[in-house]
Structure 1
Amino acid sequence: MKYICNYSILRFLPYPETGEFVNIGIVLLANTGEFKFKVAAKRQRVTRFFETLEHKVYLRAKGEVEDEFNRLVEFFANHKTETTLLTSTFKHLIHPRETMMRFSQPGSMATDNIGQALDDLFEHYVNHSFASKEYQEKVLERQLGTLLASSNLKQLYKEQRLGTNDYDVRFPFVMLDDHIAEQAIKPIFFGQSEPGKILEHGDAWLSKVMRLNKANKLAKDTLFIAEPPAQGKPKLFKAYEEVTFALAEFDGVRVINAHMTNSQKLQEIKRGVPEMSH
């Protein structure tokens, strides 16, 4: 069953003069009359952004708004069938006001699970799930797909899982010839903000490559197109070099920098393409 939910992002804006704010929560009203909210538990995301702010100011404002939300949960539960009242109450809650706690313009969405919708919205707007390595790698994959298409090469590739019945690994671009993987290309994101996170992601792929290599299931040419960390961060770049060098030690595995020009990337890609496929 589909539910329609209206939602708004809770924002903390302590200094109206600058207009700067931090997203800290979500409020949501479903067409079932159910009101839900979720507010970030940790204060560090706010105090790190507003370094001169006394943390007690934020905690007091957060406590007051959570008290209001808890009262509203009970109110909405007691008036579930009064649609007009619920809608007007929600609009009043998120109406613009001159306080530290403010709300975004409302949005709406359809969902099969109201609780999951709240969690998804919170992850997106508060925890920035779209900036995860998974999201970034999807962006890199789309960019590579566009490059291959513009060079009339994309039809040579398809998404494929390489491995055995017991263990396989997804590669977004695989070139097959008579069911043999001639080339597999994987954009990989190493732009994380901490060396440990770069090493963890690199180790995960080193483990995958090691297992595929042991099973003799690697493509003849495996090309990683790696997004490096930000410039001027030697500790991050050291971690990046460690994992990319380790990947490239496997026979048939190459790693190139995602910041290469498109023509350079195409040259590197074509190095692993059999002559008959050019």
Structure 2
Amino acid sequence: MNYFCNYSILRFLPYPETGEFVNIGVVLLASNGEFRYKIETKRQRVTQFFHKLDSKIYIRARTEVDQELARLSSFFSKHSQQQSTQLAAFKSLILPRETMMRFSSPGTIAVDRVDEALESIFDHYINLSFASKEYEEKVLERQLGHLLAAANLKQRYKEDRLGTSDYPVKFPYVLLDEEGAAQAIKPIHLGHDEPAKILEHGDAWLAKVRRLKKVQLLARDTLFIASPPAHKPKLAAAYTDIVDQLAEIDSVRVVSNSLPEQLLLDEIRKGIPESIH
């Protein structure tokens, strides 16, 4: 390893009261004097998470921090041979501040190439390169759990398996009544960056639902809460194909997780029998 790099993750935190944030960028200072930074240019990951936030607020804050980092790049380049000056400036940059744009505690990594280090850190913390579809769906399930808990509905559901002993299908939220499974809710991640991945994951759930339907063990209301992909024609076409095929199955509904919370709760309540409302 040729270089040591100090780095920090840039976070967008619009509501200090909740402490929730989205990682949007990386700043990095290498032992050879190089200063690098990268900020996510797409706003969807922020606006989907903070769906009530005016996107103009984020865009303005991102522009301001981008301009500040560009200015600092010139400073670090000018003092590339003064390591102590650079370190002091880097520490000052990432100091905790009461603003919407904040930096994480610093980390250190040993690397052969500084540019590759920046991309690697960015891919991990912003692109979530480690995340599988299972990881993504666990995040969606936790978000749904928080929503149900806030509406005093979570206690009515439990994780359960529907189907036969030879073919059990797990749903994270199942509501049971005297007649069996009244409602089963499944958050499904269809926000992949390739049409083939959307179709592959969607087809897997289509097969499960069709088999449950065939043996008459599908919940009377099966609600898929789907995370959509980016607004690109091929991705949208694959997403629509899966959603339409699921919705064609009797007693199956699909809604987007980008719906406002109240509308999402309204969709969930549609499947709760009147007898247990």
Cα 1:195–1:175, aligned 2, differ >3 Å: closer, same or farther? Answer: same
Q: Deviations over 1:177-233 (max 9, x none)?
A: 1360000000001110000000000000001001111111100000000000012x1
In structure 1, how many angstroms separate the alpha carbons of the residues matched to 2:129 and 2:276?
39
Q: Give 1:272's aligned amino acid.
A: G
Contact in 2 for aligned 1:158/1:173 (Cα 8 Å):
yes
- Aligned residue number for residue 224 of structure 1: 224
**Deviant stretches of 4+, over 3 Å:** 95-99, 101-104, 127-130
After the TM superposition, which residues 19-168 of structure 1 pair with which residues of structure 2 at under 5 Å, given as runs?
Answer: 100=113, 128=128, 130-168=130-168
Task: Please state whether the residue corresponding to 1:250 is helix, strand or coil.
Answer: coil
In structure 2, how many angstroms separate the alpha carbons of the residues matched to 1:277 and 1:15?
65
Task: Please state whether the residue corresponding to 1:254 is helix, strand or coil.
Answer: strand
Cα 1:16–1:243, aligned 2, differ >3 Å: closer, same or farther? Answer: same
In structure 2, how many angstroms separate the alpha carbons of the residues matched to 1:266 and 1:183?
14
Task: Please state whether the residue corresponding to 2:147 is helix, strand or coil.
Answer: helix
Q: CA deviation at 1:15?
A: 9.5
Q: CA deviation at 1:136?
A: 1.0
Q: CA deviation at 1:172?
A: 0.2
Contact in 2 for aligned 1:174/1:183 (Cα 8 Å):
yes
Q: CA deviation at 1:16?
A: 2.7
1:16 equivalenced with 2:29 (yes/no): no
In structure 1, how many angstroms separate the alpha carbons of the residues matched to 2:225 and 2:115?
42
Cα 1:103–1:246, aligned 2, differ >3 Å: closer, same or farther? Answer: closer
- Aligned residue number for residue 183 of structure 1: 183
Q: CA deviation at 1:96?
A: 7.2
In structure 2, how many angstroms separate the alpha carbons of the residues matched to 1:189 and 1:96?
32
In structure 1, how many angstroms separate the alpha carbons of the residues matched to 2:172 and 2:215?
20
Cα 1:102–1:164, aligned 2, differ >3 Å: closer, same or farther? Answer: same
Aligned length: 180
Q: Deviations over 1:105-151 (max 9, x none)?
A: xxxxxxxxxxxxxxxxxxx88x9564221111111100110111111
In structure 1, how many angstroms separate the alpha carbons of the residues matched to 2:196 and 2:115?
36
1:169 equivalenced with 2:169 (yes/no): yes
1:275 equivalenced with 2:268 (yes/no): no
Percentage of identical aligned residues: 56
Q: Give 2:275's aligned amino acid.
A: M
In structure 2, how many angstroms separate the alpha carbons of the residues matched to 1:219 and 1:98?
52
- Pairwise CA RMSD: 3.6
In structure 2, how many angstroms separate the alpha carbons of the residues matched to 1:169 and 1:194?
26
Q: Give 1:273's aligned amino acid.
A: I
TM-score by length of 2: 0.57
In structure 2, how many angstroms separate the alpha carbons of the residues matched to 1:263 and 1:102?
44
Contact in 2 for aligned 1:182/1:220 (Cα 8 Å):
yes
Q: Give 1:183's aligned amino acid.
A: Q
In structure 2, how many angstroms separate the alpha carbons of the residues matched to 1:15 and 1:204?
50
Task: Please state whether the residue corresponding to 1:131 is helix, strand or coil.
Answer: coil
In structure 2, how many angstroms separate the alpha carbons of the residues matched to 1:241 and 1:261?
20
Structure 1: gaps of 5 or more residues: 1-7, 21-94, 105-123
Contact in 2 for aligned 1:96/1:103 (Cα 8 Å):
no
TM-score by length of 1: 0.57
- Aligned residue number for residue 27 of structure 2: none
